[in-house]
């Protein structure tokens, strides 16, 4: 994912510029955390709206993208918490269905991995998504999640181990 770009000082212009640069990428990140396209957009739009309101208080404009990414992770967590009961038995989202031209075997493989990922504890899941999709360093993940680098290492290691066990038992 792209890093921070220079942004104008006006909140509207700044948010628009950040939106054009990062919206799609953040939605892709959110969809991996909430597994719901509509919900992911909702979380990301909310993050941009919050950033707009707090633009004047942002001490470091270069950190705006980092703020957005953290807001998306936190927003995704809140959304899951709100919906956790109703989602437990919800129908699969349309976005998870195989595309007509898609390879069924590949889709099943990916679905199995995502199912195994979804069964992990929240923190492990977030660390794995930020590391293996967003490509963040341990330091960045630690900063985004508000945990130590050691904790990131530990969550990643445990998450991968659990994922391996689940996938091997299929």
Q: Which residues bind another protein (CB under 8 A)?
A: 12, 15-16, 19-20, 23-24, 27-29, 31-32, 35, 37, 40-41, 44-46, 48-50, 52-53, 77-78, 81, 84-86, 88-89, 95-96, 99, 106, 109-111, 113-114, 117-119, 121, 123, 128-129, 132-133, 147, 150-151, 154-155, 160, 163-164, 167
Distance in Å, CB of 102 to another protein, minimum: 9
Closer to another protein at the Cβ: 7 or 117? 117
Closer to another protein at the Cβ: 46 or 138? 46
Q: Is 146 left (phi over 0), alpha (psi -120 to 50) or beta?
A: left
Distance in Å, CB of 120 to another protein, minimum: 9
Distance in Å, CB of 159 to another protein, minimum: 9
Closer to another protein at the Cβ: 63 or 81? 81
Closer to another protein at the Cβ: 48 or 65? 48
Distance in Å, CB of 60 to another protein, minimum: 20
Distance in Å, CB of 38 to another protein, minimum: 9
- DSSP collapsed to 3 states, the chain: CCCCCCCCCCHHHHHHHHHHHHHHHHHHHHHHHHCCHHHHHHHHHHHHHHHHHCHHHCCCHHHHHHHHHHHHHHHHHHHHHHHHHHHHCCCCCHHHCCCCCCCHHHHHHHHHHHHHHHCCCHHHHHHHHHHHCCCCCHHHHHHHHCCCHHHHHHHHHHHHHHHHHHHHCC
Residues ≥6 apart with Cβ < 8 Å to 160 = 128
């Amino acid at each position: 994912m792209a890093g921070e770009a220079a942004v104008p000082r006006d909140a509207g212009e700044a948010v628009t510029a950040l939106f054009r640069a990062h919206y799609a990428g953040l939605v892709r990140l959110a969809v991996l955390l909430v597994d719901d396209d509509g919900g992911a957009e909702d979380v990301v739009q909310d993050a941009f709206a919050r950033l707009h309101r707090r633009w004047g208080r942002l001490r470091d404009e270069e950190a705006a993208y980092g703020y957005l990414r953290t807001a998306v992770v936190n927003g995704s967590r809140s959304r899951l918490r709100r919906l956790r009961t109703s989602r437990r038995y919800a129908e699969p989202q349309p976005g998870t269905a195989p595309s007509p031209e898609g390879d069924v075997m590949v889709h099943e493989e990916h679905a199995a991995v995502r199912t195994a990922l979804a069964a992990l504890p929240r923190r492990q899941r977030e660390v794995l998504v930020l590391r293996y999709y967003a490509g963040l360093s341990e330091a960045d993940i630690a900063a985004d999640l508000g945990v130590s680098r050691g904790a990131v290492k530990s969550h990643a290691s445990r998450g991968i181990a659990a994922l391996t066990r689940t996938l091997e038992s299929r």
